[in-house]
Structure 1
Amino acid sequence: MLAKSNLVLAAALFSSVFVSPVAAQLHTDCDPLVKDCPPDPAFGTTHTFNFNATPPANMFNLTAGPVEYNPDTGAAFTMRKRGDSVTLMSNFYFFFGRTEVLLKAASGTGVISSIVWSSDVLDEVDWEFKGGNESFAFSNYFGKGRQDWHNGGDHPVKGGVLNDYHNYTSVWTKDQLEWWLDGEHVRTLLAKDANNTDNYPQTPMKLSIGIWAGGDPDASQGTIDWAGGIVDYSVPHTMYVKSALVEDYSTGKEYSYSDHSGSWKSIKIVSGNSTAYENLNKEPEKSLSDKWNDLPSGTKSGIYAAAGIVGALLIGALAFYYFKQRRRGQKEAALAAQRLEQDRVELEGFKRGGRDPDALAFDGSEYKGGQSTASYAVPDSPPGSSAGPPEKTWDPTGSNGPAAVPLLHNNAK
């Protein structure tokens, strides 16, 4: 079922794409209609992205807020405040193809959930859902960013767009564009009916899935009226997406524009595997056990043998070190025992000679082998005492005869 859009709806859609500062506006970093641009990375394959977990790396860019992934409900796109426009946009392009998105729209007046294809020349294909209108889904398209006021369509949805997930599919060839809802064909656009193909979307597309505020107070009045009214930011609004299948009808590495016409005929395909294809089909990182199981039996035997040799060498080195340390310890223990035995013998010798080792005075002579160069004795009276100097000693007073030490210089004549 297709109802033509009125002037207000068309103006609102135009504003939502090119005017509203808070909408998920389309733009192009390089417009191939006016200059030469770098090639677009191709998808070149078919893949279903399940959003029960973070999608594979380098597949999508995330803008204007976080996406939360849940095993049961899929990806949650939540608008919590003004300026939130949470969007996943693919890093790859497909050139004619098909997408199937399993989506439950966000509720709330003025809140727009969307599935958008867009190209560098601003060709566009849309599914849009108004949070204040649970009964209908809306389809739309643009060619080179032009609005001819007859592009939009509205389609009733059994059970409504807010309470359950529905399959929203678009199928695209160079000749026609189709919209499908839960497996039911609801709309067809023939290329020749879009301004004699000039406004027909026909250049490589990216996929964007997101939520935005059509009813933001700063939006144009036409956008607010189309969206259904002003957004209530006091409560969060969440869109859920379980999965997105993307099929590229072309195969190759890159897509480039050979001229500035914006025609599908100007698109050149570089052969080879795309980066997306290689990322999606590369083997997952293997665990150590997996790597071990993949080794040939001969290699495993060699590893076992080498490990055995290394183990034996380590054990031998440890044993050598152990016995070396043990011999060293035994030698040191023997020397210590020998010193103790010498000390014991010397003490026994002192005791047999009637001497008390603890009472001996050391006179500065070196003790050797139990004998000394001087005797240990306690003198009866030290030199210079009242008993007089010892016999045969030098008397500095001369009272005991001539001085025992002659003068070094004798000047007597």
Structure 2
Amino acid sequence: MLWRRFLSAVALLGVASAQVNSDCDPTEGHKCKPNPALGTSHSWHFNSTPNGQLWETLVGPIHYNEDDGAAKFTIDEQGDSPTLRSKFYIFFGRVEFSLKASKGRGIVSSMMLLSDDLDEIDWEFIGTNASATTNFYGKGIEDYTNGEWHDVPVPVQDDYHNYTIVWTKDKIDFYIDENQVRRVEAKDSKSNDTDIFPQTPMRMSLGIWAGGDPSLHEGTREWAGGDTDFDAGPYDMYVKSVNIEDYSSGKEYIWGDESGSWESIEIVEGNSTAYEIIHQKPEKTLNDKFNDLPQAAKIAIYAGGAAVAAAILAGLIFYCIKQRRRGAQEARTALQHSEAERMELNKFKKSGIDPDGFTEHGAEYNAREMKAGGMADGDSYNVPGASEKPWGTAAAIGAGAGAGAAGAAALRSYSQSPGPGSYHDLRGPGSPGPGSYHDLRSPGSPGPAAYHDMRSPGSPGPGAYHDMRGPGSPVHGRFPTPPVGPLRSPSLGADGSQSPLMRSPGSPGPQQAYGAHRMQQQNFSDARDYGMDRIGSPGPHGYR
């Protein structure tokens, strides 16, 4: 029995030694920095990552799960040993945590309090053992007799249990689910007359490690349950919450000498950094800030808000009224336009005109078609003979005469050629109105009222009609020479009478006019010749 206890103590010492280290040991003459104090009490729930100003993560990641409400510490492979360690210290106090240990051969789940001079208090859980173990060390002295095992009704790997340490300068009490399972008295904690009772400021670590790692001492591996099979992992430990109370209040703890006794520790008064962070008031919400205002300020805010709301409402009403009036005006305008169009259509219908028969453009003549019909050759247009009758009917002539001044205004010269034989616009520049007729004579005629022959100089006689193209034209088609004087208007009135003379305003008197009827009698044309139906024909020599 004693032999077995000795082996367990050796194993526990190996476990403690494997995780224990100190950056600065004051008992060895080192000048160490003050230990930042917790200086208060607080609970942490590990459903989310704890404040990085108060906790640090070592040797691997830790996963915080909101659904499970716990932090998960995992060993995936050899060398993993994820650890969560506080950045603050407590100088005597109470530590309570809720933990479910990991299963697995050689896997150790643990909680440890450790000081700079290697004072230590432990809870440890072996993956192949349903019980819990407690242990303590002082000044790093390897005493193999300090560890104890504690039975638990429900295996530590199967459910969460509450584990508690209450630590004072006189004793350490251990609890499982609020049931005390062990007490260590300071007066009984001696090793070769050396005081090994933990009594200097300590900080907390939670972690999982492989005590069965083949690289560790054989005694440690045996205590941990044997060599760890890393291929059988992962191995998970879960921690739901931690509650820590520092029995000392102050800003920090300073080592006064190298004795390592609690009397040598100096407590610096004031609030610690951890205290300020934990008790920092959350930023007030707008509702909180409003509630803190004086009543007069609240009334002013209400009044201002009401005024702004009224102004916005008035603006919306004005906008709606304006838009409604604009819409009504547009509707009235559209109705007026519609009524005007309806009246215009009714007027056309009463006049016997079909508005649907209007076209956008008049008919045009194609030069290729005119050439095929014998009306053109090469690049010129020919006036066909009387027998060919290309120029329309007497009815068309009558219609042209009936058009009045508008029809006369539409008459244009036959050609734009600059030669002496070209026809000028039938309205001369400066004429009294768009319907007046300009002299059909060449420059230099005997008098402004006389009609000059429509022929080029050198024509056979004054009565001959010269080619209606200028000199140099490639083809000379001529009109038959009438037996009488100058050219008259080739139009008929609506009653078949002869049209007015084509003379300039202010001429001495009427001259004998050639109407279509007389021209037909003289065998110059028939009733369809010299109609107005060619006005607007295309081409350089067409009628315009």
Give the alignment's TM-score, normalised by structure 1.
0.72
Distance in 2, Cα, partners of 1:380 & 1:192 = 135
Taking the aligned partners of 2:173 and 2:144, their CA distance within structure 1 comes to 16
- Partner of 1:134: helix, strand, or coil? coil
1:393 aligns with 2:388: no
Match of 1:84 in 2: 80
Q: How many residues align?
A: 382
SS of alignment partner, residue 230 of structure 1: coil
Aligned CA distance change for structure 1 residues 392 and 244 (closer, same or farther; 3 Å): closer
2:151 aligned with 1:157, yes or no? yes
Aligned residue for 1:368?
none
Rounded to whole Å, the distance in 1 between the matches of 2:423 and 2:296 is 105
Task: Name the CA distance, whole Å, in 1 between partners of 2:182 and 2:290.
Answer: 52
**Structure 2 residue 299 is the aligned partner of structure 1 residue 301:** yes
Residue 253 of structure 2 aligns with an amino acid whose one-letter code is Y
Q: Is the 8 A contact 2:130 2:152 kept in 1?
A: no
Is residue 115–residue 127 contact of structure 1 (8 Å, CA) maintained in 2? Answer: yes
Equivalent residue letter for 1:383: S
Q: How does 1:22-37 map to 2 (within 5 A)?
A: 25-32=19-26, 33-37=28-32
Alignment-derived partner of residue 314 in structure 2: 316
Q: Bigger shift: 243-252 or 130-139?
A: 130-139
Offset of 1:126 from its aligned partner?
Answer: 1.3
Query: How many angstroms does 1:269 deviate by?
Result: 2.0
How many Å apart are 1:328 and its aligned residue? 5.8
The answer as to whether partners of 2:169 and 2:186 remain within 8 angstroms in 1 is no
1:211 lines up with 2:211 in the alignment: no
Q: For 1:381 and 1:75, how far apart are their aligned partners in 2?
A: 105
Q: Percent identity?
A: 44
Q: Quick check: 1:115–1:126 contact (8 Å CA) kept in 2?
A: yes
> Given that residues 136 and 157 in structure 1 are in contact (C-alpha distance below 8 angstroms), is that contact kept between their aligned partners in structure 2?
yes
Aligned mate of 1:123, from 119, 122, 137: 119
Q: For the residues of structure 2 that align with 1:168 and 1:259, how far apart are their CA atoms?
A: 33
Question: 1:251: Cα distance to partner?
Answer: 0.5
- Deviations for 1:30-73, whole angstroms, at most 9, x for unmatched residues? 4445543433321112334455x337534433342324447778
Matched residue, 2:37: 42
TM-score by length of 2: 0.57
Counterpart position of 1:405 = none
Please state whether the residue corresponding to 2:305 is helix, strand or coil: helix
**Contact map agreement 2:9 2:144 (CA 8 A) in 1:** no
Match of residue 247 from structure 2 = 249
The answer to whether residue 413 in structure 2 is matched with residue 383 in structure 1 is yes
8 Å Cα contact 1:79/1:211 also seen in 2: yes
Secondary structure of residue in 1 paired with 2:301: helix
Contact 1:117 1:206 in 2 (8 A): yes
What are the equivalent positions in structure 2 for 1:195-274 lying under 5 Å apart? 196=193, 199-233=196-230, 234-274=232-272
- Greater alpha carbon shift after TM alignment, 37-46 vs 387-396: 387-396
Picking from 84, 89, 106, the partner of 1:110 is 106
Q: Which amino acid aligns with 1:40?
A: N
1:311 Cα shift?
Answer: 0.6
User: Aligned partner of 1:156: which letter?
Assistant: H
Unpaired runs of 5+ in structure 2? 362-404, 416-420, 427-436, 449-544
Contact 2:189-2:196 within 8 A present in 1 as well = no
- Contact 1:142–1:151 (CA under 8 A) maintained in structure 2: no
For 2:239 and 2:111, how far apart are their aligned partners in 1?
10
Contact 1:6 1:149 in 2 (8 A): no
Structure 1: runs of 5 or more not aligned: 362-374, 403-413
Change (3 A) 1:237 1:383: closer
Work out the CA distance in 1 between the residues paired with 2:283 and 2:122.
38
Deviates more, 1:192-201 or 1:218-227: 192-201
Please give the alpha-carbon distance, in whole angstroms, between the structure 2 residues aligned to 1:393 and 1:339. Answer: 47
| Aligned partner of residue 183 in structure 1, secondary structure | strand
Deviation at 1:121? 3.1
Give 1 or 2 for the bigger CA radius of gyration.
Answer: 2
Aligned CA RMSD, in angstroms, stands at 4.6
Once residues 115 and 129 of structure 2 are traced to their aligned partners in structure 1, the CA distance between those partners, rounded to angstroms, is 28
Matched, 1:172 2:167: yes
Query: Which AA in structure 1 matches 2:56?
Result: N
Q: Is residue 275 of structure 1 aligned with residue 270 of structure 2? A: no
Give the Å deviation of 1:176.
3.9
Shift of 1:78: 3.6
Letter in 1 for 2:262: W
The equivalent residue for 2:62 is 66
Mapped to 2, the partners of 1:309 and 1:335 lie a distance apart of 39
SS at match of 2:112: strand
Are 1:4 and 1:151, in contact at CA under 8 Å, matched by a contact in 2?
Answer: no
Deviates more, 1:351-360 or 1:151-160: 351-360
Letter in 2 for 1:91: K
Query: In structure 1, what is the Cα distance between the partners aligned to 2:214 and 2:189?
Result: 39
User: Matches of 2:239 and 2:98 in 1, distance apart?
Assistant: 6
Contact 2:251/2:272 (8 A) holds in 1: yes
Correspondence list, 1:402-413, <5 A: none
Amino acid paired to 1:79: I
Q: 1-side partners of 2:15 and 2:315: how far apart?
A: 79
Spell out, residue by residue over 1:240-284, the C-alpha distance to the aligned partner (whole angstroms, 9 max, x if none).
444433221100122233455544334322222333334444455
Q: Does the residue aligned with 2:124 lie in a helix, a strand or coil?
A: strand
Residues 208 and 92 (structure 1), Cα distance of their counterparts in 2 relative to 1, 3 Å cut: same
